[in-house]
Structure formats: C-alpha cells, structure tokens
C-alpha cells in the first residue's frame, strides 16, 4: 500500500491509537462473540476481520484501518482478504454494504443503497462520514471531517461497528446456484 503523508506528529496519533485499541481490547470478548476479530494492532495499522455465524461460518472480508494523522484526519479503511491480507478489488468484496434508505417503504419494496463504492481503478472504498475515503473524496468537500471530529463519529469503535453492521449483519446465508446444461457426446 502507498505510504500516507504525515500532517500530524506520529507520537500524537500513536497515543490515540493505543487508547482506542485498549478500549477495544477491554471488551474484546463481546466483539469476538459478534464476529469482530482484531487480528493485528501495530501502529499505525489495526487489522480487523469480520465474521458471520451462519452455518458454516464465513469471514467475508477484513479491514486494514490506518491511524496515520488520526485524528487530524479520519481513519482510513482498506478492505483486504482476511487470509492473504491483500487489498480486495471492488468485484472481490462479497458484500456491497447495503443500507436501507430511511423513510422508504417497508417489505419487498424497501429501498437500499450500497455504501461500497469504487472508481474506474476498481479500488473499493466505504462511502460513509467518519471514514477518510469519504471526507477526502472530491464530492464531499462540503462535509469536512473537522465538523465530525471529536463527536464520537469516526472513532475506531464507530468504524468497526459500521463495517460490521453494513458489511456482515445483512448476511443471512449462502446463495447456491446450479447451472444445468444438456450433455451430449459426438456421434458418427
């Protein structure tokens, strides 16, 4: 991954990293039960895998969460393969983080929108206030991170909760599809 430029003394963001990781670890058993697994925490990056307890259980993705310049800048989220830890392309992410649009009809006509977006480079990003990729997107220059900073939005807990909510909670099972074709052998 590309190294991010530093705007903030790393010792400041390291203290915030250690504080928020300690808060996470204080209730880690609760997170584990819900399928939020902290795999690594080496400043400036924390790697969290997201799992769903269906049968058989699945681990659809992990996220590399970067604390560089935090919290002058928001946390940066890169979705990665939970095994190889290689960043996923848009079409490799098994869920597109669909969220119900508030106020729309309930039931089969309920409308949703994907929070997972990408550009022509096929790199996925989560389009949600509190996440760096949202605030640094040219379309969101009117919604500065500094309007959200310190309010609870964008904390490590906020980010992992929302990755879990929209990326995992909606998973209800496996979709199995069969492709049935006629089989024929050559004839003389």
Cα dihedral 83, 1, 142, 157 sign: positive
Q: Counting Cβ atoms within 10 Å, is residue 26 exposed (0-12), middle (13-18) or buried (19+)?
A: exposed
24 binds other proteins (CB under 8 A): yes
Residue numbers 169-188 binding other proteins by CB under 8 A: 169
Return the closest-CA partner of residue 74 out of 3, 162, 158. 158
Q: Which is nearer to other proteins, 7 or 114 (CB)?
A: 114
Write out the E strands in the chain.
36-42, 45-52, 58-66, 76-80, 98-100, 112-114, 116-118, 124-126
Are residues 7 and 13 in contact, defined by beta-carbon separation less than 8 angstroms?
A: no
Residue numbers 77-116 binding other proteins by CB under 8 A: 97-99, 111-115
Q: Which is nearer to other proteins, 89 or 110 (CB)?
A: 110
Q: Which is nearer to other proteins, 20 or 41 (CB)?
A: 20
128 binds other proteins (CB under 8 A): yes
Q: Judged by CB under 8 A, which of 49, 127, 132, 145 binds other proteins?
A: 127
Q: Which is nearer to other proteins, 80 or 163 (CB)?
A: 163
Degrees, nearest 5: CA angle 149-129-144: 55
Return the closest-CA partner of residue 98 out of 31, 52, 162, 148. 162
Q: Which is nearer to other proteins, 61 or 145 (CB)?
A: 145
58 binds other proteins (CB under 8 A): no
Residue numbers 133-162 binding other proteins by CB under 8 A: 134, 143, 148, 150-153, 155-158, 161-162
| Distance of closest approach, residue 175 Cβ to other proteins, in angstroms | 18
Are residues 43 and 18 in contact, defined by beta-carbon separation less than 8 angstroms?
A: yes
| Distance of closest approach, residue 141 Cβ to other proteins, in angstroms | 14
Q: Counting Cβ atoms within 10 Å, is residue 14 exposed (0-12), middle (13-18) or buried (19+)?
A: middle
Binding site for other proteins (CB under 8 A): 20, 23-24, 26-27, 30, 33-34, 97-99, 111-115, 117, 126-130, 134, 143, 148, 150-153, 155-158, 161-162, 165-166, 169
């Amino acid at each position: 991954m590309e190294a991010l430029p530093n705007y903030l003394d790393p010792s400041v963001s390291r203290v915030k990293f250690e504080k928020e990781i300690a808060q996470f670890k204080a209730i880690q058993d609760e997170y584990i039960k819900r399928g939020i697994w902290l795999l690594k925490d080496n400043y400036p990056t924390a790697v969290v895998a997201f799992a769903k307890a269906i049968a058989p259980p699945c681990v659809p993705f992990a996220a590399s969460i970067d604390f560089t310049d935090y919290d002058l800048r928001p946390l940066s989220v890169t979705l990665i393969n939970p095994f190889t830890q290689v960043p996923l392309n848009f079409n490799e992410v098994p869920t597109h983080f669909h969220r119900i649009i508030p106020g729309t009809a309930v039931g089969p006509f309920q409308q949703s929108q994907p929070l997972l977006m990408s550009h022509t480079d096929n790199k996925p990003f989560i389009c949600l206030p509190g996440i760096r990729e949202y605030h640094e997107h040219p379309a969101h220059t009117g919604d500065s991170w500094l309007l959200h900073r310190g309010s609870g939005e964008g904390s490590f807990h906020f980010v992992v909760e929302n990755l879990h909510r929209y990326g995992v909670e909606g998973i209800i099972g496996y979709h199995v599809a069969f492709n049935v074709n006629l089989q024929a052998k050559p004839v003389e």
